[in-house]
Amino acid sequence: MMSFDAHSGGRPDGLPLKLVAGNSNRPLAEGISSYLNVPLAKGQVKRFADMEIFVEIQENVRGQDCFVVQSTSFPANDNLMELLILIDALKRASARRVTAVIPYYGYARQDRKPGPRTPISAKLVANLIERAGADRVLTLDLHAGQIQGFFDIPTDNLFAAPVMVRDIEKNYEADDLIVVSPDVGGVVRARALAKRINVPIAICDKRREAPGKSEVMNVIGEVEGKRCILIDDIIDSGGTLCNAAEALLAHGATEVMAYITHGVLSGGAVSRIKNSRLKSLVITDSILPTAAVQAAANIRVLPIAALIGEAILRTSREESVSSLFY
């Protein structure tokens, strides 16, 4: 299993990399900075009275390899616009290469046309990032793998699975574990995790009555007497996970935990999770955890700065990124 240790950032040819942080998740950017032993570039992002965004990079970036760390999480439009302006500022300052590091890629759930006269917003966002001047993209657990194909520039999609596997192995014995996908669409993700920890899988057959609402109808697989680990990429309202936990316990599971990469947790999701029958919810800090998330007794946050930092270092050094996951 790959482990990550602190590195001294930079390229083999001696050229340093520049790490630029937006405002969406400053603690994560600082964690990446600490891992790489590379200070965050000096700059400021501020707003005019009418809330227009102004960016100024306050150090030389000419000819350098720049990485902009910015999740496009809530408020999605503000954070996306900030990312675009940061990229533009770096390109106009003659940066040699600009990589958009987007731990959480907003609008990813709008990756196809579910009906007539609807947008494919994930593709639109990809076009905007390219047009702003990004030379490559580094992201984490895209909601749909095909979004990589929406870009005409190199795009690396990292996986949080290695971080989750280490945490699972640290906290649970594999004897009575089973990995569960909360819906049919997540079977590939569940199977990949189950293979890593050598346990079986099960599936919750879900019928969604309306956007943001779900109803679990059936459980496919033998979960009686098992401790279940639900795995997914995004938790938003929390309804799917809570319903899945209820169904699994009704089918004889002894306890239910969840590992989710992106904790969107909008509206009353945190309260819903706190009052649910989930023993624990583990999320990464790809999205800045709110005070409510940090205060919830059954929600825990896994840091991913080392994973992203290592990917940044390898990208800058022109080394393999995919080997992180073998």
Q: Has 320 been labeled as part of a binding site?
A: no
Q: Which two tokens stand for residue 265?
A: 């947790």
What does the alpha-carbon distance between residue 36 and residue 288 come to, in Å, rounded to a whole number? 20
Tell me the DSSP string of 239-306: HHHHHHHHHHHHTT-SEEEEEEEEE---TTHHHHHHTSS-SEEEEETTSPPPHHHHH-TTEEEE--HH
Q: Which two tokens stand for residue 313?
A: 């270092």
User: In one letter, which amino acid is 145?
Assistant: G
Domains of the chain from N-terminus onward: 17-159+305-325 (3.40.50.2020), 161-302 (3.40.50.2020)
First to last CA, the chain: 8
Do β-strands 227-235 and 177-181 pair in parallel, antiparallel, or remain unpaired?
parallel
Q: Has 30 been labeled as part of a binding site?
A: no
pLDDT of residue 214: 55
What does the alpha-carbon distance between residue 310 and residue 321 come to, in Å, rounded to a whole number? 8
Q: Has 51 been labeled as part of a binding site?
A: yes
Q: Which two tokens stand for residue 60?
A: 């030389």
> Per residue in 176-186, is it b (16+ CB within 10 Å) or e — as a string?
ebbbbbbbeeb
pTM of the predicted protein model: 0.90
CA of residue 288 relative to chain centroid, distance: 11
pLDDT tens across the length of the chain (326 residues): 445 555 555 544 445 799 999 999 999 999 999 999 999 999 988 889 999 999 999 999 999 999 999 999 999 999 999 999 999 999 999 999 999 999 999 999 999 998 899 999 999 999 999 999 999 999 999 998 899 999 999 999 999 999 999 999 999 988 899 999 998 888 999 999 999 999 999 999 866 666 555 565 689 999 999 999 999 999 999 988 998 999 999 999 999 999 999 999 998 999 999 999 999 999 999 999 999 999 999 999 999 999 999 999 999 999 999 887 76
Q: Has 118 been labeled as part of a binding site?
A: no
Catalytically active residues, by annotation:
206
What contacts 148, CB < 8 A, 6 or more positions away? 142, 155, 157
